[in-house]
Amino acid sequence: MTYDAEATKQRIFAAAAVEFAEHGLAGARIERIAAGARANKQAIYLYFGSKEKLFGAVVAAKLQEICHVVDLDPRSLPDMVGVLFDWYQEHPELVRLLLWEALESGDGPLQGEQTRADAYRDNVRNMAAAGLTDERQARDWLFTILGLVAWNFSVPQLRRLVLDEPDPAKALARRRAVVVDLARTLTANAPVDD
């Protein structure tokens, strides 16, 4: 049987995503990642360099996944916010990874920060080019929209307490409708060029 380096990297990556989402960077263990990936620890260091670089690669990849799903065009923003909401609901690991990253890094530098910042700048430029008055407004919209959606999955205990809804599925369905409606209101008041 031949060794498949790419398959090993993919297994390591998948196991790392689960481990980091569950335990964060500090709590994650290379031994558990290796066991989950059916690989040895040396392969992890060979392919990714360090636990920190692996964490950064996992977060960046999860963010890239969502970028391929959602195009935040102001002309179809409510629909895209619904898609974003659904994606977060189906992929709760991204919110967990971002929360761990925030807790462990604070406002300090991040692995792959420049690449991620450039991707957000591209999103902002695309939103502004689609008709928002300027890039500053587009930045504010993007950050607000991400917060409106992600908050629903960041604090499920607060969602349960505030909404006082015993059925989590009904609570999320209501929240999705509210967030999409807020996006509709936001775009209704925006100066979008045709």
The predicted structure's pLDDT at residue 106: 86
Class for domain 59-188, per CATH? mainly alpha
- Cα–Cα distances (Å) from 122 to 97, 135, 139, 186, in that order, read 22, 10, 11, 21
CA distance 18 to 84: 21
So what's the architecture of 1-49 in CATH? Orthogonal Bundle (1.10)
pTM of the model as a whole:
0.85
Residue 70, pLDDT > 90, answer no
CA distance 85 to 180: 9
| Paired tokens of 63 | 């963010």
- Domain extents for the chain? 1-49, 59-188
Give the rounded distance of the alpha carbon of 124 from its chain centre.
16
The predicted structure's pLDDT at residue 176: 97
CB 142 within 8 A of CB 127: yes
